Amino acid sequence: LLSWIEHYFEKEDILHLVITEEAGANSLELAPNITAELNDQNEPIGVEILNASSFLRDMVVESVQAKIAQVLAVTTV
C-alpha cells in the first residue's frame, strides 16, 4: 500500500501528491491536468493534479453515482 504526502495550493487549485522525496527525472501527462512525476528509473514519485477541486468533485460524484446504481441494481433483483 502506497503512502504519500499531500500538498494543496489553494490559489492555483493544484494538488500535489508526493509518493517519495526522490529527485524527479521525467514527467508523463496521463490525462489533461494530470501529470505523473517519475524518477530516473521511470517509477512514479508523485502526481500533480491541476484544477484539483473540479477533478475531485467530479470523481466523487462519479463514484457515488456508480455505487448508487450498484446498490439499486442489487435491491431491485
pLDDT over 70, % of the chain: 96
Closest CA to 29 of 3, 50, 53: 50
Find cell 500533480 and name the residue.
Answer: 48
Task: Give the separation between CA 3 and CA 18, rounded to whole angstroms.
Answer: 9
Find cell 526522490 and name the residue.
Answer: 22
Determine the pLDDT at residue 77.
62
Find cell 502526481 and name the residue.
Answer: 47
Please state the rounded mean pLDDT for residues 24-36. Answer: 96
Please state the rounded mean pLDDT for residues 56-68. Answer: 94
